[in-house]
Amino acid sequence: MKFHEIPGNETAISALVKMAESGRVPHAVLFYENEGGGGFALASAWVQYLNCEHPENGQACGHCTSCLQMAKMEHPDVHYVFPIATGDVIKPSTQHPTASMALREFRAMALQNPFFKEQDVYEAIGVESKSGLISVYDAKEIIDVLSLAPVQNGYKAVIMYLPERMNAAAANKLLKLLEEPPAKTLFMLVTDNPEDIMTTIFSRCQAIRVLPFSKGDALAGASIPEEMQEICNRMLKALSRKDLASALDCADEVAAVKSREKQKSFCIFASRQVRRIFMYLQKLEDIAYFDGVSDEDLKGISGTLSPAFCSSASQQLDRAAMLIGRNVNAKMVFTDLVNRLYVKM
Ligand SMILES: [Zn+2]
């Protein structure tokens, strides 16, 4: 994957190229993508650029040994990690399953569509959605892989898709390595849920925002009705000043809307806002960008909210969207949602 094959994201790409040229390459980078798409491609393109033998004008050459290996996802110094579960590919009887056991299927999927989403990974390895985990066995494998000398002259890299799927044991095992990695070692983490990543991991990474570029993603962003955005911002503001009555009024307003699709879009928008608040609270204002809310509003909403609240709120909002999709009574869903958010304040 070369930079020019990734639509949009000129700002992020030129920042990455500058880092490479200046020799100040951070050893851990978190690529924060928008609900799937682009982060993995960008991380791969950067590793390819950094390891290219003849980079030119901000692009990898595409035909040196390293580029050819990267194009096939077969570079000996690049290790891919992604959430897995046992199923069709990794049999349930497997002891200590790791992502490398499903690498062939992951590779085939990612080569066909480098802009994949989480669900695509699960389909490729034949497991149920959202069931994937990055376990302590993966962490151990990463440590082992990185302890070996590089095969080639460039960087050794771990490209980890969805670090938020690491359990605590795995994350803790990797902390020291993330803090003091061996020379010329890179961690490229790709996430669409930064608020679910353990703060100890998050704080060790430099974050790069990956903007949506596909028509579908852009439309998904644009199609959220203004009235839903307005109610959502009002509800978050009410919650941040612990005004339960006003927040419940907002829940009633959403429940009264005569469209399940609009109600779902409310949940999607609220989830994005929560993510944005999270990035803001982590002092990453520059990459906390989303449409439909002014900086002043964001400050107001973020007031008393904590990163822990954002993490829990994001799960509650996903749950609400799922229930709305299943035709559960909307008034019940949104009242329950506000109550659940309120107790997490
Ligand atoms: Zn090259």
To the nearest 5 percent, what fractions of the chain are helix, strand and coil? 55, 10, 35
Distance 68 CA to ligand 1 centre (A): 7
Distance 198 CA to ligand 1 centre (A): 35
Query: Residue 217 — very low, low, confident or very high, per pLDDT cuts 50/70/90?
Result: very low
Q: Whole-model pTM?
A: 0.72
Q: Which of 128, 88, 130 is nearest to 105 (CA)?
A: 88
Whether 215 shows a pLDDT value over 70: the answer reads no
Q: Which of 78, 37, 59 is nearest to 188 (CA)?
A: 78
Q: What is the DSSP letter of 38?
A: S
Distance 293 CA to ligand 1 centre (A): 42
Question: Averaged over 253-270, what is the pLDDT?
Answer: 92
Distance 210 CA to ligand 1 centre (A): 23
Distance 69 CA to ligand 1 centre (A): 9
Q: What is the pLDDT of residues 65-121, one digit of tens each?
A: 999 999 999 999 999 999 999 999 999 999 999 999 999 999 999 998 888 889 899
Distance 44 CA to ligand 1 centre (A): 13
Whether 251 shows a pLDDT value over 70: the answer reads yes
Mean pLDDT taken over the chain: 88
Q: What is the pLDDT of residues 279-311, one digit of tens each?
A: 788 777 665 555 556 667 777 777 778 888 888
Q: What is the pLDDT of residues 61-78, one digit of tens each?
A: 999 999 999 999 999 999
Question: Averaged over 178-199, what is the pLDDT?
Answer: 91
Distance 74 CA to ligand 1 centre (A): 14
Q: Cα torsion at 222, 227, 230, 235 (round to 10°)?
A: -120
Distance 12 CA to ligand 1 centre (A): 20
Question: Averaged over 189-216, what is the pLDDT?
Answer: 82
Distance 42 CA to ligand 1 centre (A): 16
DSSP letters spanning 257-307:
SS-HHHHHHHHHHHHHHHHHHHHHHTT-GGG---TT--HHHHHHHHTT--H
Whether 216 shows a pLDDT value over 50: the answer reads no
